[in-house]
Structure formats: C-alpha cells, structure tokens
Amino acid sequence: MSFDVFLNFDGDCREALGFYAGVFGAEPSHVTPYDSAPGTSVPQADAGRVMYASLPVFGHNVMFSDCPSGSVHVKGTNICLTLGCADKEEIDRLFAALSEGGQVVTPLGRTFFSERYGMVTDRFSVTWQLSLTEF
C-alpha cells in the first residue's frame, strides 16, 4: 500500500514543480501534459497544462497536476491525499468508508492509468484519490 500527497495548481504547475525541485534538490519525473493522455479529447485551454508529474521528496512521492481549466481551484486548499493498494476489496472498502457523509467526486471505475480509480471528498472536506496498483 502507498500513501502519497497530490498538489493541484491552476496553470502554474510547471513553475511550482521547478520551485520544489530546487528546494528539495530532486529531479521531477513523469511530467505528462493533458494533451498527451491516450484516448482523451482535451480542450485547447488545457493542452499545455500538466496532467501529472511526480517529485521524490525524502523518500516519498509528491504528485503534481494543473486542475482542468474552468474547475474550481482555491489556493491553500489544493492538496489531496492519495492511497494506492493492490487489493480491490480494500480499495472498495476504503472508498465506501471515506464516502460516508462526504461527496464522491469521481466514482470508482477503470481509467487509462488504473483498473480501479476514484476520488472522494470526505465529511471533513479532505479529498482522497484511491487507485488499484500493482507492485
């Protein structure tokens, strides 16, 4: 099982990624713009935005992304906790438990990057991403 941090930005993800890479002396990896995602149609406004990037910080993976244009982004609340697990039943259990009294943002389902992925904001306004992973 993995536990990571996901930071969201509003068009300045590349700048933030460069800043944090310098601060922590780390090299970013997997910098993927929205328009390179397989099988997706991307609005022109999102073409240059970062869909996903990662940065190793003290042995942990910090993930970065620009929110799609037009989505709500509030500076200071742009953090999401991410759980990766190789057990489908555990992903389902965690998702159901975190959803109680909260709001499902993305229902659990198949994506191009995971057999089972979902996002939920729990009843305390903490946003979680859950993904079935292979180790």
pLDDT digits (tens, 9 = 90+) for 29-56: 889 898 887 777 778 888 889 999 999 9
- Do residues 134 and 105 share a domain? yes
68 and 84 in a single domain? The answer is no
> In angstroms, what CA-CA distances link 45 with 19, 78, 106?
23, 20, 22
Is 130 among the domain residues? yes
Yes or no: say if 45 and 22 are a contact pair by the CB < 8 Å rule.
no
Q: How much is the pLDDT for 135?
A: 37
Whether residue 62 contacts residue 102, with contact meaning beta carbons closer than 8 Å, is answered with: no
Instruction: Check whether residue 61 and residue 121 sit in a common domain.
Output: no
Query: Is 43 among the domain residues?
Result: yes
> Is 58 among the domain residues?
yes
- The length of the chain in residues reads 135
| Domain match, 33 and 54 both | yes
If asked whether residues 32 and 45 sit together in one domain, one would say yes
Which range among 15-29, 30-44, 53-67, 105-119 shows the weakest confidence by mean pLDDT?
A: 30-44
Half-sphere exposure for 93 (CA within 13 Å, toward CB): 6
Are 26 and 13 members of one domain?
A: yes
Which pair of structure tokens corresponds to residue 70? 């037009």
Global pTM? Answer: 0.70
Share of the chain above pLDDT 90, in %: 47
